Structure formats: structure tokens, C-alpha cells
């Protein structure tokens, strides 16, 4: 995202723009940019007035991110919008994730960019530099977002402290949020940028746009069971999912929907085959906005560390989250209403994409009964 503020240049310079990269891009800040914030970002000798010129453009940007990171950045976007209501916010985003957040009221413009298409890099970077951003904020903290941050040509580039950056991305920023020994989950870490930029305090909100989904029959709680996960090390097993589904239907007469992307169809079909109760298999059948609507209509979401888990947290659906290789302290769902279930082993969390330990014990040994215990508590809550 690229956030711009205003700084006062020397000599004949007039008010100039400063910006951020990761989620969005802004234009025309109206909120005062405090001298304290300016001193953190601007190079020595630059001075800042407590004034914003409404005639100047103020722009931020966001590099393409994983779906969960896109969802988790929305509370920051919301606070940024509240702090700078006249800003024009542009989001650099991949085509897939754009399908989820398109139409978000805090964002004025989306710039679609598929980093996998090498033919698009040259024209994209040319367009990026043509914007003449002055401050870029990199929330993604990986090599790709770092390259985009640096290639923007912005003289001021704000990112995470070095300890929290990956793939050398700290090299591409020249201003950083302070180190944090206990940073919390991703949402909380992104909100550190809002605090750094002195946006008004506010309770986290997402306002994720979605297509409403028909409600379940009265007396039948709807439960979403999301079997997919991009990283193989984060996945649970079909027979375990089937046992959980059987118990939910028998004990609560639950309407259980199996969800996932097109690549998860074989897995959901296997879960449905192993289960002894009827299930609704939605894998690959819904758009992201329809999936968000389905999740919003549910009483409970059960899944591993994956984008739909964070969608559930964003739309206010209680979650039972299964974690093994992933670290729930970093990528767990935001909020006290969600439950995290783990099976402790010495190698967990390893954060690997694929398990390198025989038997994948962190997930294979995670008992369905432990997941059901948390699911029962959630469904019994008023």
C-alpha cells in the first residue's frame, strides 16, 4: 500500500507528496500530518507544517498478496481511511484476490497485477514509476513487494523492522516501524502502521463486501468445514474431517457445507464419501464474494490456516482453527471469540510448506475429538 502525506521542501519547493506500498494508494490528504510522524520518516533537514494542501495528490499502494494477508490488511485500510478521509486509495492486487475486495468502500481504485505473468512486469513498473509516489508502505515484507517498493521511485519507503522482514525486503525501505518483541497476529502487526502514522484509534473493522447467502432452516445451525489449505503442511486428513462432520450432524442436526477452491474438489469429495451423513459440497462452485456470504451466514467455521479462516474472522463468524506447521501466534484468527486447536510436537510450528517429518505428526495426530470439543462449545454458546 502506498500512503502519501505532505512535507515541506526547501527553497522554491512547494508542498510535495509522500506515500505507502502494500494494500492501497491515496490522493488528497485532508488530515494534518503531524511533525512527530514527519520526523520519523523524512530525512534530516526536511521540515513539515501542520497543514495539508487539498490540491496536492496523496497516494498509497499495495502489492499482490496472499488472500489471508489481503483480508488481514483491511483493518489498517479502514483506519488509514479514517485518518486521511480525503486520500485517494489505490490497491495493487492480484486478479484472484481482487474478486474478494472489489467494491470496498475505503478503496478508490484497484490496479491489477499478476506477478506470475512476466510480460506484465515491464509495463507495470513503468506505470508505477509514472505515479511519482513519495512515500511507499510495504506491508508484505517479501522480496517481491520490496522490489516493487524500490522500483516505485518513492524517496520515502516505510516498512517493517529488519527482524520481521523476509527475503531481504528490509533493504528496500528507508524508514521502519519500531521493533516489537511480541507482535501478535498479522492484523495486529499491520495496525502498528496505523499507530505509527497517528491514525485515530478505533476498534478493528473489515467491512468486507460479500454476496448475501440464503440462511439455513430454523433450528439447524450452519457449519462451514473448509478442508483446503495452500500449504500441504497445514492440511488435515479426509477421514478426520469426516468424523467431525458425522458428529456435528448427529448431535446438532447441523447443515454442514464443505468449502474449498477448485483444487480441493477431490478432497471434499473424499470427505463426503467417508462421511455417513449428507453434506453440502461447495468446493470450486462459489466466487470469493459468494463464499464470504456463505461463511457470514454460518454459525461456525472450522478450518486450517488458510484465507477462508481469515474471511470468517472478518465477517464475524466464530472459528475453530486447526494449526500444526503454521504459528497461530502470527497467522491465527484475530479476536478472542475464536478457538485454536493444536497437537504439540517438538517441531511445531515449523512454518514449512511441506512436512519433512515422517508421519506429519502435528496434523495426523490431532484428534477429531479435540476439534469437536471446541465446536460443541461454540455451537452451545448463546
Whether 107 has a pLDDT exceeding 50, the answer reads yes
Q: What is the per-residue pLDDT across 204-242, written as a single tens digit (0 to 9) for each?
A: 999 999 999 999 889 899 999 999 888 889 999 999 999
299 plus 165 within the same structural domain:
no
| Between residues 26 and 282, the one the model is more confident about | 282
**Residue 238's domain spans which residues?**
222-380
* 203 in a structural domain: no
* 182 in a structural domain: yes
* 111 in a structural domain: yes
* 126 in a structural domain: yes
Rounded to a whole number of angstroms, the distance between the first and last alpha carbons of the chain is: 39
> How are beta strands 15-18 and 5-8 bridged, if at all?
antiparallel
Q: Which of 161, 196, 231 is the last residue of a domain?
A: 196
49 plus 188 within the same structural domain:
yes
Q: Which range among 52-56, 188-192, 351-355, 358-362 has the greatest average pLDDT?
A: 188-192
| CATH code for the domain of 295 | 3.40.50.2000
Helices (H), the chain: 35-41, 67-83, 95-101, 121-130, 143-151, 186-196, 238-252, 265-274, 288-296, 307-315, 328-331, 361-364, 368-380
144 plus 180 within the same structural domain:
yes
Distant-in-sequence, close-in-space partners of 134: CB < 8 Å, separation ≥ 6: 4, 7, 16, 17, 18, 19, 154, 155, 156
179 plus 246 within the same structural domain:
no
* 262 in a structural domain: yes
228 plus 313 within the same structural domain:
yes
Q: What is the per-residue pLDDT across 193-205, written as a single tens digit (0 to 9) for each?
A: 999 989 999 999 9
Q: What is the largest CA-CA distance in the chain?
A: 77
Q: Which of 136, 161, 196 is the last residue of a domain?
A: 196
Whole-number Å distance between alpha carbons of 19 and 27: 9
* 211 in a structural domain: no
Distance from the Cα of residue 335 to its chain's centroid: 14
234 plus 127 within the same structural domain:
no
299 plus 351 within the same structural domain:
yes
189 plus 99 within the same structural domain:
yes
46 plus 185 within the same structural domain:
yes
Number of domains in the chain: 2
120 plus 245 within the same structural domain:
no
Report percent pLDDT > 70 for the chain: 83
Average pLDDT, the chain: 83
* 159 in a structural domain: yes
228 plus 354 within the same structural domain:
yes
* 208 in a structural domain: no
Q: Which of 158, 181, 196 is the last residue of a domain?
A: 196
Mean of pLDDT values over 28-32: 36
175: helix, strand or coil? strand
304: exposed, middle or buried (Cβ count in 10 Å: 0-12, 13-18, 19+)? buried
257 plus 172 within the same structural domain:
no
Amino acid at each position: 500500500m502506498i500512503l502519501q502525506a505532505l512535507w515541506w521542501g526547501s527553497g522554491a519547493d512547494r508542498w510535495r507528496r509522500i506515500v505507502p506500498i502494500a494494500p492501497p494508494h491515496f490522493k488528497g490528504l485532508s488530515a494534518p500530518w503531524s511533525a512527530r510522524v514527519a520526523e520519523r520518516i523524512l530525512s534530516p533537514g526536511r521540515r513539515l507544517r501542520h497543514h495539508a494542501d487539498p490540491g496536492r495528490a496523496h497516494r498509497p499502494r499495495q502489492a499482490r498478496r496472499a488472500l489471508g494477508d489481503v483480508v488481514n490488511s483491511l483493518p489498517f485500510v479502514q483506519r488509514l481511511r479514517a485518518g486521511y478521509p480525503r486520500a485517494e486509495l489505490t490497491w495493487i492486487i492480484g486478479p484472484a484476490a481482487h474478486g474478494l475486495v472489489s467494491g470496498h468502500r475505503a478503496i478508490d481504485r484497484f490496479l491489477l497485477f499478476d506477478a506470475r505473468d512476466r510480460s506484465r512486469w515491464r509495463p507495470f513498473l513503468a506505470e508505477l514509476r509514472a505515479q511519482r509516489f513519495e512515500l511507499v508502505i510495504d506491508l508484505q515484507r517479501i522480496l517481491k513487494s520490496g522490489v516493487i517498493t524500490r522500483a516505485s521511485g518513492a524517496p520515502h519507503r516505510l516498512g517493517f523492522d529488519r527482524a520481521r522482514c523476509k527475503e531481504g525486503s528490509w533493504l528496500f525501505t528507508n524508514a521502519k516501524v519500531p521493533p516489537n518483541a511480541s507482535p501478535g497476529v498479522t492484523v495486529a502487526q499491520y495496525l502498528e502502521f496505523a499507530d505509527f502514522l497517528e491514525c485515530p484509534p478505533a476498534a478493528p473493522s473489515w467491512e468486507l463486501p460479500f454476496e448475501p447467502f440464503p440462511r439455513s432452516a430454523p433450528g439447524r445451525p450452519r457449519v462451514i468445514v473448509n478442508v483446503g489449505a495452500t500449504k500441504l503442511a497445514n492440511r488435515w486428513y479426509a477421514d478426520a474431517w469426516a468424523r467431525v462432520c458425522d458428529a456435528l450432524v448427529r448431535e446438532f442436526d447441523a447443515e454442514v457445507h464443505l468449502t474449498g477452491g477448485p483444487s480441493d474438489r477431490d478432497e471434499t469429495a473424499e470427505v463426503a464419501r467417508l462421511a455417513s451423513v449428507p453434506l453440502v459440497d461447495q468446493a470450486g462452485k462459489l466466487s470469493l464474494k459468494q463464499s464470504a456470504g456463505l461463511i457470514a451466514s454460518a454459525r461456525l467455521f472450522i478450518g486450517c490456516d488458510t484465507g477462508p479462516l481469515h474471511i470468517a474472522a472478518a465477517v464475524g463468524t466464530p472459528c475453530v482453527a486447526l494449526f500444526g506447521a503454521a504459528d497461530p501466534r502470527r497467522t491465527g484468527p484475530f479476536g478472542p471469540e475464536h478457538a485454536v486447536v493444536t497437537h504439540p510436537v517438538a517441531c511445531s510450528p515449523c512454518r514449512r510448506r511441506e512436512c519433512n517429518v515422517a508421519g506429519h505428526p502435528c496434523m495426523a495426530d490431532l484428534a477429531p475429538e479435540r476439534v469437536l470439543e471446541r465446536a460443541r462449545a461454540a455451537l452451545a454458546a448463546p
